[in-house]
Amino acid sequence: RKEVEQDPGPFNVPEGATVAFNCTYSNSASQSFFWYRQDCRKEPKLLMSVYSSGNEDGRFTAQLNRASQYISLLIRDSKLSDSATYLCVVNKTPFWVRGNEKLTFGTGTRLTIIP
Amino acid sequence: NAGVTQTPKFQVLKTGQSMTLQCAQDMNHEYMSWYRQDPGMGLRLIHYSVGAGITDQGEVPNGYNVSRSTTEDFPLRLLSAAPSQTSVYFCASRGAGTPNSPLHFGNGTRLTVT
């Protein structure tokens, strides 16, 4: 089983719709969680961190379910500019430990917003 | 704001050649790392550094060397290129502040080994 698993998609969603994707992780000791966004042929960029209580940033909502070991990303009122690949990232190392940036990346979920 | 700068953007090598991918950051970040990205594999960590003079291996270190003589620079050396090293390479850095401080990536280097 992969450490971090995502549905690769593609998700083709009409503009204005709500879309959600999940990401499961295998290591119950995982400490921190992130969603990154990667546009075609570009570098990944942080979309949002995922906090235990869930968090929202505009149209984006991230949730963490430690019991079931998954995180989710919800995008409301989707825009054409949301078309990208969304990477789930998990860190199982406490930040004070050397080598904290041993992040594990999922393979990404490709999202296309259709006009 | 330059952020993380990688050079070159593209490179074609023949099997057995060596080369160095350059990475520099101007954010005074302690942590720097190199990833490779292959279709269906996600980003995989090659080597990383927690500060000048300190480097360590990641998930896929074989065939690559790194050094960190300054805080700013973290070059990746391919010792003897192989077709399996055809990939997109990303350098990234982050500060040592909060646990959720983001990775800042360079623009990437597309390497083809023939």
Query: Could you write out the three-class secondary structure of chain B?
Result: CCCEEEECCEEEECCCCCEEEEEEECCCCCEEEEEEEECCCEEEEEEEEEECCEEEECCCCCCEEECCCCCCECCEEECCCCHHHCEEEEEEEECCCCCCCCCEECCCEEEEEC
A29-39 pLDDT, tens digit per residue, is: 888 899 999 99
Q: Please tell me the predicted confidence (pLDDT) of residue B104.
A: 92
Low-confidence ranges of chain B (pLDDT < 70): 1, 97-100
A4, A32, A104 ranked by CB distance to B100: nearest: A32
Q: Does A1 touch chain B (CB under 8 A)?
A: no
For testing the chain B interface, which of A101, A102, A103 should be mutated: the one with the most B CBs within 10 Å? A101
Q: Which residues of chain A does B50 touch, with a Cβ-Cβ cutoff of 8 Å?
A: 98-100
**pLDDT band at residue A1 under the 50/70/90 scheme:** confident
Cα–Cα dist A89/B48, whole Å: 17
Q: Which residues of chain B does A101 touch, with a Cβ-Cβ cutoff of 8 Å?
A: 31, 33, 45, 48, 92, 94, 103
Q: Does A94 touch chain B (CB under 8 A)?
A: yes
Contact across the interface for A99 and B48, Cβ inside 8 Å = yes
Nearest CA in chain B to A4: B42
Q: Please tell me the predicted confidence (pLDDT) of residue B57.
A: 92
Under a CB-based contact definition with an 8 Å cutoff, are residues B45 and B59 in contact? yes
A53-70 pLDDT, tens digit per residue, is: 899 999 999 999 999 999
